[in-house]
Structure 1
């Protein structure tokens, strides 16, 4: 079977679909991942074929509204549609913000599956149906919103974090992937030599990490005062030297593979993107969320309601406040216990291999009543 995956050119979007793509490759299927050219090597290093389509993440810019995804989907269609038509996939899996995949599936009469990105699902945002339909009409796909709603939705959100939903779509749970390091990836020797028993990982992601100037500086300043190792990742476009000399228990890097790093951590401080939030919980780690944009405010609120973390937003995220919140998360066992409870939920969700087998075994499920 030929299976095409499509994703917007951001780490949180591409990395989320890779576990299912790798499962498809393990099962012997022909697999292609279509995304921005800047992620072609990232995909290829995992043994998958990459199609560069549409703008790179730098060319597309930081998403400031959902209109960003409508606009860039139209750009990706220019490259994706002829490639998909020529290759003829049997199944097309697009992450939920990548609407060019939905258009390619409809035009090619290809079975379409939508891969969720986290807690807040685009499929529940009924108010956006008109925008989705307008995009579809530009590419001769009428009623794109109905087709979108009729696709199976793969939800990677564990039950404890789920939000109330009015959607009637078909939902298939899928265990969020922990990620797989690419061949040759390893942790630096400096990390292995850090002095303290406990380790805190700090990241503000790779998309909104520079939206609030000084946010990362404040977090580093507060966390390096704690008796714990601090491992900071600043993103591929930020120079670690910008943060100046650090004490021996602090390590600042551009990027480290979470599949290797998180098993060594006791707590995560992050922007609350779905990838790092669910990745940390898959390892049973509580989290302090410093939301910067997009769905991160919703994710942080869900984590706090579930008792697996705390949230500090905007001006409240001072160095002393961050240090105090992390001290509380490390010192009060209830947060780690709640995180481990969600970890058990994640462990019981169907694996990528199981979900793929289910999708292959049931090639033509009936759409929900409202989409027929």
Structure 2
């Protein structure tokens, strides 16, 4: 028998945007690449260096940009100016985070115009640093998330395959031709490098971790991959619930995002009204919150258990239902657990993803701005009382488990790298 020639180690550059929720679905691919003997570096902002390190990957903290929550709050203020803000309380100020009062005459478009040059300079330094590092390190493949400008830019500049790794059921073609779901290229980095402009047509390869029934429209070649939940580092809590089969009552997990509250303001913090809704039901309630949100939640009804900073993949497999804000990490972890979801989206991609999942019967979606305790209680009763929702969630889990795992995706990247020609100038 002739010996098998080992695959030469390749260098894979991950380029991630400024929130762990955007790139956490990429982490298992990083593990698979490292376990296969390949090198991985993660170009990120300094704020992401610690989360990347805790995920077991190597950060290259060279990107510069305004904080993501500032940008999203500014966009929310623009929605309010257009009459598209759905909450009763005004959105928070982009910089201070304090909700704007009725007397505040805040011009969101004016804020962007006043800050555009500063934002463009931050973006220019970051994109130039990413390209400079890539030219030095010479990766054969680039993998990036949907809100990264520097990822597709680096691939185009070097002439190597760049793969957009989706974080959930949302893609660049959502929103239509007029308003595609894309990051803002503040410094015109694509034009500066003679690459035209960033558009949905920029993406030639995509990695899709979604089950087919909830997938975003993907008109280009894409690689399916099984979603392996990664919700940050953390230990198994000392308290471990009995398995679902041994329970007398259904278990409802409640998850909320501190970043959602920072982005949409205190009015969006739904934990108190969710707790009020569940207090009248015969269910076992487990909430996972940060320490700050635990304080914000105040006194909770007796019998509700609170876990602080527990990764969702350690909690949801023991639940019969989860209530969350519509973030990709929560939605995809619930899909992997095969449990129904009550989604209370606030805006942006949360609404797109919640509608797609609800369309399969595996979830109900009620906008957080209109969901009161009564509506939440009715939705929970419906989800727990109708076996159709459980069956739909189980089907999506089976679809997800039928997808090839991250190790299989490594082989596809090796084949792409073998055909790549680096541009070195």
In structure 2, relative to structure 1, the CA distance for the partners of 1:57 and 1:240 (3 Å cut) is farther
Give the aligned length.
Answer: 360
Map residues 161-310 of structure 1 onto 2, 5 A cutoff.
161-164=214-217, 167=219, 169-179=220-230, 182=233, 185-190=234-239, 192=241, 197-210=249-262, 211-212=264-265, 213=267, 214-235=269-290, 238-310=292-364
Residue 290 of structure 1 and its aligned partner are, at CA, apart by: 0.3
In structure 2, relative to structure 1, the CA distance for the partners of 1:131 and 1:254 (3 Å cut) is same
Contact residue 36 and residue 57 of structure 1 kept, 8 A: no
Q: 2:208 aligns with which of 142, 145, 155?
A: 155
Contact residue 103 and residue 141 of structure 1 kept, 8 A: no
User: Using the alignment, how far apart are the partners of 2:48 and 2:412 within structure 1?
Assistant: 29
Contact residue 146 and residue 183 of structure 2 kept, 8 A: no
Query: Counterpart in 2 of 1:143?
Result: 196
Contact residue 239 and residue 254 of structure 1 kept, 8 A: no
TM-score, structure 2 length as denominator? Answer: 0.75
Query: Counterpart in 1 of 2:170?
Result: 120
Contact residue 133 and residue 143 of structure 1 kept, 8 A: no
Q: 1:352 aligns with which of 406, 413, 422?
A: 406
User: Using the alignment, how far apart are the partners of 1:154 and 1:105 within structure 2?
Assistant: 15
TM-score, structure 1 length as denominator? Answer: 0.85
What SS is found at the alignment partner of 1:189?
Answer: coil
Contact residue 276 and residue 301 of structure 2 kept, 8 A: no
Structure 1 gap segments, 5+ residues each = 367-372
Structure 2 gap segments, 5+ residues each = 1-9, 77-111, 421-425
Q: 1:101 aligns with which of 125, 129, 151?
A: 151
Range 241-250 or range 94-103, more displaced: 241-250
User: Using the alignment, how far apart are the partners of 1:267 and 1:38 within structure 2?
Assistant: 33
User: Using the alignment, how far apart are the partners of 2:258 and 2:125 within structure 1?
Assistant: 22
Q: 1:86 aligns with which of 125, 128, 136?
A: 136
Tell me the alpha carbon deviations over residues 299-333 of structure 1, each in whole angstroms, 9 at most, x when there is no partner.
11112211011111144311121122112111211
Tell me the alpha carbon deviations over residues 263-316 of structure 1, each in whole angstroms, 9 at most, x when there is no partner.
121111111122211210111011001001211111111122110111111443
Residue 248 of structure 1 and its aligned partner are, at CA, apart by: 4.7
User: Using the alignment, how far apart are the partners of 2:68 and 2:215 within structure 1?
Assistant: 33
In structure 2, relative to structure 1, the CA distance for the partners of 1:307 and 1:156 (3 Å cut) is same
Residue 152 of structure 1 and its aligned partner are, at CA, apart by: 0.9
Residue 30 of structure 1 and its aligned partner are, at CA, apart by: 0.8
Residue 191 of structure 1 and its aligned partner are, at CA, apart by: 5.8
Residue 51 of structure 1 and its aligned partner are, at CA, apart by: 1.5
Q: Do structure 1's residue 38 and structure 2's residue 67 form an aligned pair? A: no
Map residues 16-55 of structure 1 onto 2, 5 A cutoff.
16-55=25-64
